[in-house]
């Protein structure tokens, strides 16, 4: 008999709510990184943005009031940012990883400290 699952989906003890996704694509990892960090790519996964220069410690404010700060930047590898939409009491953390796998690339997103499910 299975034990009853009492913890809410995506709820963690330390990070509150979180979500993650990863997928393997038939694309070179440097090309994937270039696309994801381009103005067009950023608009897809973060929204319309100011001109972002990815460098640790840089802060940005989007036209909708969202504030972000670059925490970690490793070229062609990974990016970690704090992201706080207008009205949120605290920032969320978004991680992007681009991982080479032979002739393919794994693209992984993870977001934690979400206010709810």
pLDDT digits (tens, 9 = 90+) for 59-102: 998 888 899 999 999 999 999 999 999 999 999 999 999 999 99
Cβ neighbours of residue 12 closer than 8 Å, sequence gap 6 or more: 18, 112
Asked if residue 7 is part of any domain, the answer here is: no
Q: Is 13:111 a contact under the CB 8 Å cutoff?
A: no
Asked if residue 24 is part of any domain, the answer here is: yes
Q: Compute CA 12 distance to the chain's CA centroid, rounded to the nearest angstrom.
A: 18
Question: Based on the structure, what is the number of domains in the chain?
Answer: 1
Report pTM: 0.83
Asked if residue 88 is part of any domain, the answer here is: yes
3-state secondary structure of 100: strand
Asked if residue 13 is part of any domain, the answer here is: no
Asked if residue 1 is part of any domain, the answer here is: no
Q: What is the pLDDT of residues 2-20, one digit of tens each?
A: 444 444 557 677 668 899 9
Q: Identify the domain containing residue 74 by its residue range.
A: 20-48+58-114
């Amino acid at each position: 008999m299975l034990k009853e699952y009492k913890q809410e989906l995506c709820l963690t003890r330390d990070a509150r709510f979180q979500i993650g996704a990863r997928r393997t694509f038939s694309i070179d990892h440097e090309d994937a990184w270039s696309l994801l960090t381009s103005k067009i790519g950023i608009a897809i996964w973060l929204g319309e943005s100011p001109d972002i220069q990815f460098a640790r410690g840089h802060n940005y404010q989007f036209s909708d009031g969202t504030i972000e700060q670059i925490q970690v930047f490793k070229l062609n590898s990974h990016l970690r940012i704090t992201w706080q939409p207008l009205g949120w009491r605290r920032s969320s953390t978004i991680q992007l990883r681009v991982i080479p796998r032979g002739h393919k690339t794994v693209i992984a997103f993870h977001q934690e400290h979400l206010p709810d499910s």
